[in-house]
Structure 1
Amino acid sequence: MAAPAPVVPDEDPSFDELLALRPHLSVAIDSGLLVEGVPLARIAAEQGTPTWVYAASPITGRYHALAGALAEAGLDARIHYAMKANDALAVVRLLGSLGAGADVVSGGEFLAARAAGIAPADIVFSGVGKTDAELRLALAAGVGQINVESAEELAMLGAIADGMGVRAPVALRVNPDVDAGTHAKITTGRAENKFGIPIDTARDLYARAANAPGISVRGVAVHIGSQITALAPYRAAYARLAELVRGLRAEGLPVERVDCGGGLGIAYRNEPAPSPAAFAHMLRETLGGLDLPLMLEPGRWLVGPAGLLLARVILEKQGAAHRFVILDAAMNDLIRPSLYEAWHAIVPVSPSRWHARLSPAEVVGPVCESGDSFARARMLPGLPAGALVAILDAGAYGAVMSSTYNARPLAGAVMVRGTDVAVIRRRQTHEALLGQDVIPSWLASG
């Protein structure tokens, strides 16, 4: 029986088109794909694969672009980097050196922000399920703001703070019931989501917070999801937020600031994404009239395009229906394609492969799961064993979501600045991975 004809996907951006939108990447005729001024082949030779590679220049450039757009729009706005996107201390330190604060969602992220040099007063603690221990940690350190997500959390926090003899700086995170149009697993602003306080009940809870022991209510917050590539959902959410603030003020309640959240999307493939200027203009139209300081918590937008996962081809396998390119990276390294059906560009590192004939390929990892896939029917050149590929735009929600499934150690990471390369996270060894386990004495062999 003849093999079925391979499925050819909708046309994707060419390799050249992908690089044109990512100026920190280039191709040299002799050394292949470069990050800033460093050949990826050199990094692979020195560090092995898979390896996370982050470029400093796009992080710096994107931070300045967003901060500049906010200033140009006449907004008093502060950027707090959402560490859930990438918690590498070097990445957080770089953004902190540019002027960013941090947005954290766990005690571990709070400690990481501090280790990276972020002052407690510049940290916003978000998250729907903060524990007593996490709240005590943040309060003892002098956290700048705690985003409270329920009446129950407000009562818990007030009791803890009152017992510690402090007042917790609080913003109430409201749920505006706005559909951000993103993947269902990363939307956070709809009524059925677990996040936030229903906006229709927020005014009463705010009044209670203003008089609660242990609480110093400062303002309101919102976050409607992640990878948002249109401004309309933001406009709808911020319009509801502005209405809430005006209502609170009409009742004589103090509102000192508005936390706008994050979620700005990036162009992984060829989808449109809002510019910083357009986003800032929308902020000015919806919230600028309140004459209040604004806080933003971008994560993916700042670091996503700056990172890639460098991997090596183990082998190509011709199946009954598909050509499989099997990499030494897997879903335990980068789970987004398996978890969210996310699209990531995959490009060859060798210059000899850059303009070779393309054919559909299934790009997969070696993990024992059919879902261990990076791409379906992706147009790629022949990639023999040992060939290197770069999985682009992996700087956000990549390494932070990695696991050791199949007893695969966590990959290492490097940061590139110009022609300098620095290891920023050591590759986990099998010895370190196995060393975490303890065999009880009653199972020890005689």
Structure 2
Amino acid sequence: MRHQRTTEATSGPIRACAHRPASRRGSGNHVAPQAARYDDATIGHSERRQGPEAVSALFDRDGTLCVEGVSLTDVAARHGTPCFVYSRAALEAAYREFDGAFAGTPHLTCYAVKANSNLAVLDVFARLGSGFDVVSGGELARVLAAGGDPRKIVFSGVGKSEAELRQGLELGIHCFNVESSSELARLDRIAGTLGTRAPVSLRVNPDVDPRTHPYISTGLKESKFGIAFAEALPLYRRAAGLANVVVRGIDIHIGSQITALEPYREAAMKVLELVDALASAGIHLEHVDLGGGIGIRYRDETPVDLASYAAMIAKLFGGRRESLLFEPGRRLTGNAGILLTRVAYLKPGERSFAVVDAAMNDLLRPALYDAWHDVRPVRRCNERPRIWQIVGPVCESADFLARDRELALVEGDLLAILSAGAYAMVMSSNYNSRPRAAEVLVEGTTMHLVGRRESVGELFARESRLP
């Protein structure tokens, strides 16, 4: 028996869905449409305000959760579940807040495509004039398809193929973040065959502990990423002597979901020592790429305050000749999206399970990192709350989306899994031959289907039986 829904507001400072129109100004040749604008423009945990990452574009209207001006019940009715839902207002607010923090410093913000590579998300950032950090030919192709400027693209990654290096050279990208002496030699050779010079930054490993999950720690000396600090100066000398290479900068990236300021300070100071040593050797750099990794609030973290970070960077780099590059990913998209799912079955007992139609193939982070994502019913009911394990249909004991959550649920309920705008859809799979979820981007009171749900036929369309 379905219980009657209440219309009481959900917990936390969630606002009504009323919206205020505002004009948008695009960049380049894009024409930006009119849409709603919100002061509170992030879909994330909102019970404790802590800067823009802790405010919410998740609103309550008559007891129903909405993203901007669209109710999640309407999204589910039109596009089904599971479904990722993104807020354009939240994406734009996050970008402007990050990029604006460095307004007094010559810089380029390059969104890290790995966090969320949906074309509509990339389109939003391209219209704002963003650069892009890519790590594969596929990501590069996505940026171009979304209207990104090749001259604002940096190509990172430890294993760039010959075809990827050639593609980047032919497009005239801003630079390659080179991660080994072998890659440098290959890039020099390919550039020579094309009759051009390859713009290069060396990714240096500063051996700094970012104090984050070990799987996303990339700045320690035992990491596969980057060039050992002691080897950087001789490799720069070698690069400067290559006929088909132009040394443009230096790059670091110490990790992801970093919530402390000190690792950034330590890494930046080590890099500056190397930059000055290079200058003394006659190698003058155009830019310093400080990477990304600034964390967001999923549960009770205290993320790095952007104003404090920007002030620290300004103090360290003020008056220097080098411009700066940044590669934010999660910081721009993480709290701009949710995963919408429906409760299929309830299994109350000594350990109670709520089986939903989303699974670890849709959102891998809880299974992979034991990550926390806030879970909220789209509408509340009068059922007595109990402690639930939120699990999916996949045949793995690790298939959980949330553990030990006190919720009032009945079968058929819609749930919003928050902070699902980064490292969610991009890490999804077809495990158990499950089609990948739909993706919707909300713009004021309009919902756009920006990623259609896969069909069962598409799961094996590229395969064939034996003759």
Contact 1:66–1:276 (CA under 8 A) maintained in structure 2 = yes
Q: Measure, in 2, the Cα distance between the counterparts of 1:70 and 1:63.
A: 12
Give the 3-state SS of the residue equivalent to 2:102 in structure 1.
Answer: helix
Aligned-pair CA distance for 1:289: 4.4
Residue 331 in structure 1 maps to residue 363 in structure 2: no
Aligned-pair CA distance for 1:332: 0.2
Match of 2:60 in 1: 27
Of 371, 376, 392 in structure 2, the residue corresponding to residue 347 of structure 1 is 376
Residue by residue over 1:357-397, the C-alpha shift from the partner in whole angstroms, topping out at 9 and shown as x without a partner, is 4322111001000000111112222x221100000000000
Give the 3-state SS of the residue equivalent to 2:121 in structure 1.
Answer: helix
Give the 3-state SS of the residue equivalent to 2:373 in structure 1.
Answer: coil
Match of 1:407 in 2: 433
Residue 182 in structure 1 maps to residue 212 in structure 2: yes
Give the 3-state SS of the residue equivalent to 2:133 in structure 1.
Answer: strand
Q: Measure, in 2, the Cα distance between the counterparts of 1:240 and 1:19.
A: 36
- The correspondence of residues 230-269 of structure 1 with structure 2, limited to 5 A, is 230-269=260-299
Match of 1:5 in 2: none
Residue by residue over 1:212-238, the C-alpha shift from the partner in whole angstroms, topping out at 9 and shown as x without a partner, is 121111010000000001111000000
Match of 2:459 in 1: 433
Q: Measure, in 2, the Cα distance between the counterparts of 1:279 and 1:359.
A: 41
Of 415, 423, 433 in structure 2, the residue corresponding to residue 389 of structure 1 is 415
Q: Measure, in 2, the Cα distance between the counterparts of 1:395 and 1:278.
A: 25
Match of 2:11 in 1: 15
Seq. identity, %: 48
Q: Measure, in 2, the Cα distance between the counterparts of 1:112 and 1:338.
A: 28
In structure 1, what residue type is equivalent to 2:83?
T
Q: Measure, in 2, the Cα distance between the counterparts of 1:357 and 1:396.
A: 33
Match of 1:45 in 2: 77
Match of 2:203 in 1: 173
Residue 417 in structure 1 maps to residue 417 in structure 2: no
Q: Measure, in 1, the Cα distance between the counterparts of 2:78 and 2:180.
A: 49
Pick closer, same or farther for the CA change 1:147–1:205 going to 2, 3 Å: same
Match of 1:70 in 2: 102
Q: Measure, in 2, the Cα distance between the counterparts of 1:158 and 1:359.
A: 62
Q: Measure, in 2, the Cα distance between the counterparts of 1:163 and 1:180.
A: 40
- The correspondence of residues 242-321 of structure 1 with structure 2, limited to 5 A, is 242-319=272-349, 321=350
Contact 1:242–1:290 (CA under 8 A) maintained in structure 2 = no
Larger mean CA deviation between 425-434 and 307-316 belongs to: 425-434
Aligned length: 421
Contact 2:110–2:328 (CA under 8 A) maintained in structure 1 = yes
Match of 1:140 in 2: 170
Which consecutive segments of 4 or more residues in structure 1 shift more than 2 A? Answer: 17-23, 285-291, 356-359
Q: Measure, in 1, the Cα distance between the counterparts of 2:309 and 2:124.
A: 23
Give the 3-state SS of the residue equivalent to 1:410 in structure 2.
Answer: coil
**Structure 1 alignment gaps of length 5 or more:** 1-13, 442-446
Match of 2:234 in 1: 204
Q: Measure, in 2, the Cα distance between the counterparts of 1:390 and 1:239.
A: 42
Q: Measure, in 1, the Cα distance between the counterparts of 2:11 and 2:311.
A: 33
Q: Measure, in 2, the Cα distance between the counterparts of 1:16 and 1:257.
A: 42
In structure 2, what residue type is equivalent to 1:371?
A
Give the 3-state SS of the residue equivalent to 2:302 in structure 1.
Answer: coil
Contact 2:286–2:321 (CA under 8 A) maintained in structure 1 = no
Match of 1:110 in 2: 140
Whose helix fraction is larger, Structure 1's or Structure 2's?
Answer: 1
Aligned-pair CA distance for 1:287: 2.8
In structure 2, what residue type is equivalent to 1:16?
G
Give the 3-state SS of the residue equivalent to 1:290 in structure 2.
Answer: coil
Residue by residue over 1:170-207, the C-alpha shift from the partner in whole angstroms, topping out at 9 and shown as x without a partner, is 00000000010110000100000000011121111111
In structure 2, what residue type is equivalent to 1:413?
E
Aligned-pair CA distance for 1:108: 0.3
Q: Measure, in 1, the Cα distance between the counterparts of 2:319 and 2:427.
A: 39
**Structure 2 alignment gaps of length 5 or more:** 1-9, 14-44, 48-53
Contact 2:373–2:418 (CA under 8 A) maintained in structure 1 = yes
Contact 1:27–1:351 (CA under 8 A) maintained in structure 2 = no
Match of 1:364 in 2: 391
Aligned-pair CA distance for 1:273: 0.5
Contact 1:318–1:324 (CA under 8 A) maintained in structure 2 = yes
TM-score by length of 1: 0.92
Residue by residue over 1:31-53, the C-alpha shift from the partner in whole angstroms, topping out at 9 and shown as x without a partner, is x0000011000000100000000
